[in-house]
Structure 1
């Protein structure tokens, strides 16, 4: 029995809970909530607010306020009725404000709850406000009041005319003053020979700005005049209040909008200056790395500028991501749509640019070449004059500038003549075909002699000769010599060939052609006495003798060039 009672009580509580919830659902709303959803309307006389009244479903607030206003104005127009003749008479649950037998308005308990006061107190306050409005209504329509309003409006009109005349004169004076001071300083805006804005267009824009300033000042003066004059007469006072409310509401909306954006603007300014500071600090650091004032192991100084550009993009992207939510209008659908469109266009149209950009950075960090190197990319041989993120510029040996996309360089073969030119040196080679009747030792000695005479071929390491083929008609010899100036390959090659021809002619050894049918009666060589046949001159002979003598003594190419010019002047 003792267990059944608690169980029954628990069941009753569970059954009773839905009923409590149902009663809570149908419970009337709180007064605060009712006040927030109730519709109210102002009762105004000559633009002056008397009080606010509420409405009901069958009699909306606007209609009730308009009816009360009409009855008050009708009583106020009857000057026989004294304003102190108003009375408040309680009738049942309402209080009626009467003007003799005319009911001006009814104050109910609901009206008192709306104002958070008692019904009698609210009726007394409304009656006092109506009495004051009746007195002001009658006073504003007296002959003296209307005459005074007319005089003030006339004076205001005269003041407005004087102000407009003064503003027009001031505008003309300001325009002339700007003409005297700025006309000689206004110049066209352009890029080199392309003119974006002419001086005449800029000057017209300045004139228009001055004129717009004058028109805006006159418009503000006219607005203030209308607000003042319309407020003087009781019939137009409401229009004056509407003008004032229009200006106040516009200023309030602008102020609220600007005030709401001030925190975002401060955040954006902070992000901007912080990003600028970080970029400047990063630039100074990589400038120090490029100038070798800061050194890192396995980090070349030539990498400083490309690395700074990459880090700069990352810093700017990070700052943009942080600043995006604070940009005014970023939450709008139009802004998001434009952002998506720009991103789509960029992704579709920049695939080749992105591949070239990535290839440019890979080339930089893989040490493919640097500015000033002599390289061969595909069929193009030249000096690297600029390495951009998208393309690389080469100047060929014919002084032609060739632009090559970085992705093409990364995906192809690149020959760098400069990377090993200093140590141990770049190997310059050439081949000659000599008949089997000439001893190979003699041929190798003559080739070494020709290499020794050639300016630009190093003596250490010594040139070496390879027998690369035993052909049908001749033995193919390959002369290899070390050079340290890759930019002079063509000149050294040509000079080496000249000395090979001279040495083989000196010793009467014929350089074979690729193929022939039979041996001639005499070797096909140029005898020494014919070396300087016309149009060759003695100047060329003296020059070559000086070069040979200095080459044996180890003279530099600059010394040879000076001596060559001296020989020409002597001749």
Structure 2
């Protein structure tokens, strides 16, 4: 048996790290089975990864090979010598040595074919890692080196705490200046805008942003400080290198992704800029339609604003759909998952939303109501302040603003007191019931007289009174007139003065406003003598004799 074969047999006895050989190379081992794939195991020395075993050799699993190799390396490093790692070709694998003594064996089964690794490259990398681990072992046993490492660590700690103090100071300065800037801008707002904007909430948002950025910076400094400390000591140096490598790799990955996404991002920005230009042009066009500089038969000035909003929304949705494939990360599974989740949430909660939108569109484009008109819906009445996509806001006579869902307004009978009025104003109506023993002509004239005395009620068209019902005990009189004011609160004042004038007029002519109810037949018939048919103020009425 020649010398190489003798060395190989010695390695079989001493090491748990070699692969079965082929029959053409080692005739004595022709019965050795093919490499058996098992769980991977990594050989580490002083916390530094040296080599990953991926196959079993002669029935020895990778984990057992690692344990035997670690034990052998520990014994070799405890002996004297240069402790220099090298490799020796030992077909079909490569033997790794320390001071020409075998430490472990790399077999072809330990190579990751999917990573396009080679046996020689793996062996060279294992030698380099082992030499580095041996060097760190020597450093850990050197008192002079450990004292220098402790000194560098203390200096790094001092710099770290100084940086934390500096971050705290800068945070207070930046927060103070931001709050001062925000308060100055809020003070410049008018009363209406200042009531809408919550000063405390704005201050809380700015303070929160500054604190978030400061904590991110503190975490970054702590991360770097910890990695620097670990790199100073041989035992923890691999961990520090891993922290730094992870951080640098993350920055490189993000930077590379940003650079790769620049062309697509530029395309998306161009699409959004074009959409912005189109919306600005549409806004100017609809603005001229609103102020009647442009008159179109198919577009009323009253619906120019909602039409502009709908057109701008359509343009932006189209731009988003066109730019979506060019957005960074649009093709990732995470982005697709978020898109599906958002779509599912919208589809689940959009039933009522779509109904409100459709109702708003019908109210807007059918011309049923207009801003400023006085309407009555269910138990609510007031002047329309705003007709939105989802709700209609009205202000009642007490100055209270009510918000009604568009579906509620559209699905119920609504009284519009301003629709039949030409120009500004609204219809005023009130109902009274007077007994049959009071001449109806007198009642009508008294109601008309009360309306004429009321400020705001116009004479053309003239107030009118209708007998809407002949009930069992009394007739019902409905007074209808038109008033000029179009504000809901002014309408309440007109109604107040009208009711007061009705009482005054009835008192002047000795007629009590009362609706009689009878439990039995009255002693005298409740009729009006013919001579009293035109009792004042009905003396000048048409048909008076």
Q: Tell whether the 8 Å contact from 1:87 to 1:127 is kept in structure 2 after alignment.
A: yes
Aligned to 1:155: 148
1:248 aligns with 2:245: yes
Structure 1 vs Structure 2 CA RMSD: 6.9
Question: Aligned partners of 1:158, 1:117: CA distance in 2, in Å?
Answer: 41
Question: 1:307-359: CA deviations, max 9, x gaps?
Answer: 12333444455566667786678648984785476336524xx63x5434322
Question: Aligned partners of 2:533, 2:98: CA distance in 1, in Å?
Answer: 152
Secondary structure of the 1:355 match is helix
* Matched positions, count: 437
1:225 aligns with 2:222: no
Question: Aligned partners of 2:374, 2:459: CA distance in 1, in Å?
Answer: 18
Q: Tell whether the 8 Å contact from 1:168 to 1:214 is kept in structure 2 after alignment.
A: no
Match of 1:518 among 529, 537, 540: 529
Q: Tell whether the 8 Å contact from 2:374 to 2:384 is kept in structure 1 after alignment.
A: yes
Aligned to 1:286: 286
Match of 2:345 among 342, 349, 358: 342
Question: Aligned partners of 2:408, 2:292: CA distance in 1, in Å?
Answer: 32
Aligned runs of 1:355-366 on 2, under 5 Å?
355-366=355-366
Instruction: Give unmatched runs, 5+ long, in structure 1.
Output: 1-33, 231-235, 436-442, 472-477, 506-513, 529-571
Question: 1:276-310: CA deviations, max 9, x gaps?
Answer: 55544443332232223443222111111111233
Q: Tell whether the 8 Å contact from 2:229 to 2:240 is kept in structure 1 after alignment.
A: no
Aligned to 1:555: none
Distance 1:268 1:160, change over 3 A: farther
1:168 aligns with 2:169: no
Aligned runs of 1:28-427 on 2, under 5 Å?
55-56=55-56, 58-61=59-62, 63-64=64-65, 67=68, 71=72, 74=75, 78-79=79-80, 149-169=142-162, 171-172=164-165, 175-176=168-169, 179=172, 183=176, 186=179, 213=217, 216-217=220-221, 220-230=224-234, 236=235, 239-249=236-246, 251-252=248-249, 255-256=252-253, 263=261, 266=265, 276-315=276-315, 317-318=317-318, 331=334, 335=338, 339=342, 342-343=345-346, 346-347=349-350, 351=352, 354-374=354-374, 383-394=383-394, 404-411=404-411, 412-415=413-416, 417-418=418-419, 421=422
Q: Tell whether the 8 Å contact from 2:441 to 2:533 is kept in structure 1 after alignment.
A: no
Question: Aligned partners of 1:410, 1:88: CA distance in 2, in Å?
Answer: 90
Question: 1:134-186: CA deviations, max 9, x gaps?
Answer: 998988877xx778x43233233223323433443454455456656754864
Question: 1:36-85: CA deviations, max 9, x gaps?
Answer: x898877776678877776346234554466456556655655479989x
Q: Tell whether the 8 Å contact from 2:227 to 2:244 is kept in structure 1 after alignment.
A: no
Question: 1:364-409: CA deviations, max 9, x gaps?
Answer: 2112232233556678775433333344445567877665554444
Question: 1:440-476: CA deviations, max 9, x gaps?
Answer: xxx9xxx9xx9xxx994459xxx9999999x9xxxxx
Question: Aligned partners of 1:254, 1:98: CA distance in 2, in Å?
Answer: 38
Distance 1:106 1:292, change over 3 A: same
Question: Aligned partners of 1:337, 1:276: CA distance in 2, in Å?
Answer: 27
Question: Aligned partners of 1:394, 1:89: CA distance in 2, in Å?
Answer: 92
Q: Tell whether the 8 Å contact from 1:89 to 1:95 is kept in structure 2 after alignment.
A: yes
- Asked which structure has the greater RCO (Cα within 8 Å, sep 6+), the reply is 2
Question: Aligned partners of 2:168, 2:118: CA distance in 1, in Å?
Answer: 66
Distance 1:178 1:324, change over 3 A: closer
Distance 1:382 1:113, change over 3 A: closer
Aligned runs of 1:518-537 on 2, under 5 Å?
518-519=529-530, 524-525=535-536
Question: Aligned partners of 1:398, 1:317: CA distance in 2, in Å?
Answer: 41
Question: Aligned partners of 2:245, 2:386: CA distance in 1, in Å?
Answer: 62
Question: Aligned partners of 1:139, 1:422: CA distance in 2, in Å?
Answer: 97
Secondary structure of the 1:386 match is strand
TM-score w.r.t. length of structure 2: 0.53
Q: Tell whether the 8 Å contact from 1:282 to 1:308 is kept in structure 2 after alignment.
A: yes
CA deviation after TM superposition for structure 1 residue 220, in Å = 2.2
Question: Aligned partners of 2:202, 2:428: CA distance in 1, in Å?
Answer: 61
Q: Tell whether the 8 Å contact from 2:54 to 2:111 is kept in structure 1 after alignment.
A: no
Secondary structure of the 1:368 match is coil
Instruction: Give unmatched runs, 5+ long, in structure 2.
Output: 1-33, 184-193, 432-438, 471-476, 510-524, 540-545
Q: Tell whether the 8 Å contact from 2:140 to 2:233 is kept in structure 1 after alignment.
A: no
Secondary structure of the 1:55 match is strand
Segment of structure 1 superposing worse, 186-195 or 334-343: 186-195
Distance 1:212 1:309, change over 3 A: closer
